Amino acid sequence: MSHADEGSLHAYLDGELTAAERAGLEAHLAGCATCRARLAEERDLVERARGLLAGAAPPEAALPPLRRTGGGGRGARPLPRWVPLAWAASVLLALGGGWMARGGTRAGAPETPGSIALDRAEPAGSGDSGIRADAPVEVVLRERDDAGAAGATTSDVTRGGRAAEAKASAAEERAAPAAQAAAPHAEAVGLAASAVANADERVTLTPVTIDSARAILGAAPVTIPGVPVRRIALGGPGIVVVEQALDATTVVQLYERRADAVREVEQDAVARQRAASEQPRPAGASERLARYVGALRVEIAGALGADSLSKLLGRVR
Amino acid sequence: MPDDLAEVYRTTYRALVRFLYRKVWDAERAADLAQEAFARAVEHQPDNARGWLFIVAANLARDEARRAIRERRHLTLVKNEPEPVAPAPDEEADAATERERVRAALDALSPRDREALLLWDAGLSYDEIAAQTGLAKGAIGTTLARARRRLVAAYDESERHDVARG
């Protein structure tokens, strides 16, 4: 055998030779001092390169939750994109007594009882449902950029378990409702309009089973009666998202968290709001931020035709 | 196969961030791009998610680099005054210097050698690197040998320069 080439030596050091190649090389090395010396040199080189690269590595961080952001679509049927940048318009729709206000201002406090009719997926006996019945409900209507390409996805339907790995950050991200907005539909339907501002807001939606959701909430998640459930997902630590397809183009998301977790999240939201205060925000946005993170939050994504809207409102009333 | 993907996420996320970091040189951006790559994988459900992710990540980093160049241009148009730089603590400054040297040394490599080296360092196998770069598997060892040699040589040279300059 002629002397080993450097490629083989590196592959040998990297553990990437086949068993046969390795045996051949080792046999040669046993009888060739030149190649043994070169092997030692190459080993030093490999180590030095590794060391240099290690000196230019990012800080080790805990595994963050997988965010669900829009990328390209799968084939011709992309999922709704939840990244605000992609939305043509956003409408915030407040339902329930004092929550209803016009022109972007809000009259009610979050404690004001909502009047929305929502059902538990299963009327479980663990019932803290009283809290939820009184919970303020926020409906966010979002217009999607790819209105034509709607359709339910089957691949995202509830799958078990690993969602529990999701940690931190997502809750705050989700909790920050975006800002004031100009929604053409809003006045037409007589709703309080506001806009989605924080363009960097990203959404985490990790599918979970109904059982996990129940474990997280301490009760079965709230659903809108008579609307097919598309999936149940984790929207952040302790936050369950139920996604229901109102029709082919409109998706409703109900965000729900344990009632006893609300206070904590509110504090988070306040901290976050402080942190974000250096960024320009429309006046009033920060106030809403703290207020909206209460119990339940409903989001609707889809191409919002007037009929979708009235259909929804009909459903909700 | 989201379960598979969740497993890939668990095992590959950090490697992907590491890979991306050497391209964008910003830990947060690298994490963002890695998240974006995974989000796309969730939508596309590629067969070989791991390899696919590194390809998407490389593309994202390239787009990012272009964007960064555009932004820098924009900034120079907007801003005439140099920003005062706060003196960093020694340790931090040393780490930054070290990082800059490695970065410059990596820049001295040919794109293909650099790619192979970064992929190897991110934990990809020769097979995976071959699939990624279009190189024959048998050529990966030689490519890595050359990449490592150049990296170390370029780094040592920049160090000599700095020492000479005092």
Q: In this structure, is residue A143 part of a structural domain?
A: yes
Q: Write the burial class of residue A271 (CB in 10 Å: 0-12 exposed, 13-18 middle, 19+ buried).
A: exposed
Q: Quick one: A128 and A44 in the same domain?
A: no
Q: Quick one: A132 and A263 in the same domain?
A: yes
Report whether A66 contacts B9 (CB < 8 A): yes
Q: Quick one: A113 and A36 in the same domain?
A: no
User: Which three-class secondary structure state does DSSP give residue B92?
Assistant: helix
HSE (CB half, 13 Å, CA atoms) of A248? 7
Q: Quick one: A33 and A180 in the same domain?
A: no
Max avg pLDDT among A37-41, A163-167, A279-283: A37-41
Structure confidence at residue A150 (pLDDT): 34
- Per CB-CB distance under 8 Å, the chain A contacts of B3 are 159-162
**Residue A63 in tokens:** 């595994």
Structure confidence at residue A128 (pLDDT): 38
User: Quick one: pLDDT band at residue A310, thresholds 50, 70, 90?
Assistant: low
User: Which of A7, A46, A61 minimises the CB distance to B142?
Assistant: A7
Structure confidence at residue A283 (pLDDT): 37
Lowest-confidence range among A3-17, A279-293, B85-99?
A279-293
Q: In this structure, is residue A212 part of a structural domain?
A: yes
| pLDDT tens digits along A242-254 | 777 766 656 667 7
Cβ neighbours around B158 below 10 Å, total: 16
Q: What is the ipTM of this complex?
A: 0.84
B164: closest CA of chain A, how far (Å): 21
- Per CB-CB distance under 8 Å, the chain A contacts of B36 are 69, 71
Structure confidence at residue A256 (pLDDT): 72
| pLDDT tens digits along A102-124 | 333 333 333 333 333 344 443 33
| pLDDT tens digits along A206-236 | 777 777 777 777 777 777 766 777 778 877 7
User: Quick one: pLDDT band at residue A68, thresholds 50, 70, 90?
Assistant: low
Chain A, window 277-316: residues with a beta carbon less than 8 angstroms from a chain B beta carbon: none
Structure confidence at residue B166 (pLDDT): 58
Q: Quick one: A181 and A47 in the same domain?
A: no
Is the model's pTM score more than 0.80? no
How long is chain A?
317
Q: Write the burial class of residue A206 (CB in 10 Å: 0-12 exposed, 13-18 middle, 19+ buried).
A: buried
Q: Quick one: A40 and A153 in the same domain?
A: no
Q: CB distance A42–B145 less than 8 Å?
A: yes
A22 and chain B: CB distance < 8 Å anywhere?
A: no
| Higher local confidence (pLDDT), A108 or A293 | A108
Q: Quick one: A169 and A29 in the same domain?
A: no
Q: In this structure, is residue A264 part of a structural domain?
A: yes
Report whether A208 contacts A166 (CB < 8 A): no
Q: In this structure, is residue A64 part of a structural domain?
A: no
Q: Quick one: A43 and A151 in the same domain?
A: no
| Higher local confidence (pLDDT), A79 or A256 | A256
Q: CB distance A48–B152 less than 8 Å?
A: yes
- Per CB-CB distance under 8 Å, the chain B contacts of A162 are 3, 6-7, 10
C-alpha–C-alpha distance, residues A113 and A135, integer Å: 6
Q: Quick one: A189 and A251 in the same domain?
A: yes
Q: Write the burial class of residue B137 (CB in 10 Å: 0-12 exposed, 13-18 middle, 19+ buried).
A: middle
| Structural domain harbouring A17 | 6-54
Q: Quick one: A17 and A152 in the same domain?
A: no
Q: In this structure, is residue A66 part of a structural domain?
A: no
DSSP assignment string, chain A = --PPPHHHHHHHHTT-S-HHHHHHHHHHHHH-HHHHHHHHHHHHHHHHHHHHHHTT-PPP---PPPPB---SPSTT-PPPP--GGG-SEEEEEEESGGG--STT---S-TTSPP----EESS--TT--HHHHHTS-EEEEEEE-S-GGG----STTS---SGGGG--TTHHHHHH--------HHHHHHT--------TT--B--EE--HHHHHHHHTSPPEE-TTS-EEEEEEEETTEEEEEEESSSSEEEEEEEE-GGGHHHHHHHHHHHHHHGGGS---TTHHHHHHHHTSSEEEEEEE---HHHHHHHHHHH-
Q: Quick one: A121 and A187 in the same domain?
A: yes
Q: In this structure, is residue A225 part of a structural domain?
A: yes
Domains of chain B: 1-84 (no CATH), 86-166 (1.10.10.10)
A141: closest CA of chain B, how far (Å): 23
Structure confidence at residue A260 (pLDDT): 61
- Per CB-CB distance under 8 Å, the chain A contacts of B124 are none
Q: In this structure, is residue A271 part of a structural domain?
A: yes
- Per CB-CB distance under 8 Å, the chain B contacts of A164 are none
Number of domains in chain A: 2
CA-CA-CA-CA torsion for A281, A286, A288, A290, nearest 10 degrees?
150
In the predicted model, is pLDDT for residue A239 greater than 70?
A: yes
B157 and chain A: CB distance < 8 Å anywhere?
A: no
Chain A, window 201-260: residues with a beta carbon less than 8 angstroms from a chain B beta carbon: 202, 207
Is the CA virtual torsion A128, A134, A135, A138 positive or negative?
positive
Q: CB distance B43–A78 less than 8 Å?
A: yes
Structure confidence at residue A34 (pLDDT): 96
Q: In this structure, is residue A240 part of a structural domain?
A: yes
A10 and chain B: CB distance < 8 Å anywhere?
A: yes
Q: Quick one: A18 and A90 in the same domain?
A: no
For chain B, which residues score pLDDT lower than 70? 1-3, 71-89, 165-166
C-alpha–C-alpha distance, residues B111 and B119, integer Å: 12
A222: closest CA of chain B, how far (Å): 25
